[in-house]
Amino acid sequence: MATRAYILLASTILALAQVSAVTAIAAEDKSPGCAPGERIDGTTIESARAKFEKAGYRRVIALKKGCDSFWHGTATQDGQPIHVVLTPTGHVIVEGN
């Protein structure tokens, strides 16, 4: 009888450990404010700003990364403020184009 109880207890602990591992993996796939399964890439605000500046934009401000890993911000070009986007593949585009 004690052996059955031990086997049942060990099986329960193993099942709980597996559920915890799956939950931890799912948590890594989700960033705050994003839907489950959306993964934000590892780009930083500094690397995004550098890409915008390399593309000829100045005064790059208000950078925010979306759940889709696109960076959105405001910059100036030829003295005019514009909204810019950096795609996950590294392309710099004007917002709305």
Mean pLDDT of the chain: 81
* Residues 9, 27, 41, 61, CA torsion sign: negative
Helices (H), 30-81: 45-54
Structure-token pair, residue 38: 């959306």
Q: Is 20 helix (H, G, I), strand (E, B) or coil?
A: helix
Confidence of residue 31 (pLDDT cuts 50, 70, 90): low
- As a residue count, the chain comes to 97
pLDDT number for residue 14? 58
pLDDT digits (tens, 9 = 90+) for 38-78: 888 999 999 999 999 999 999 999 999 999 999 999 999 99
% of the chain beyond a pLDDT of 70 = 67
Distance separating the N- and C-terminal Cα atoms of the chain: 72
* Of the candidates 73, 78, 76, 79, the residue with the CA atom closest to the CA atom of residue 95: 73
pTM for the model? 0.64
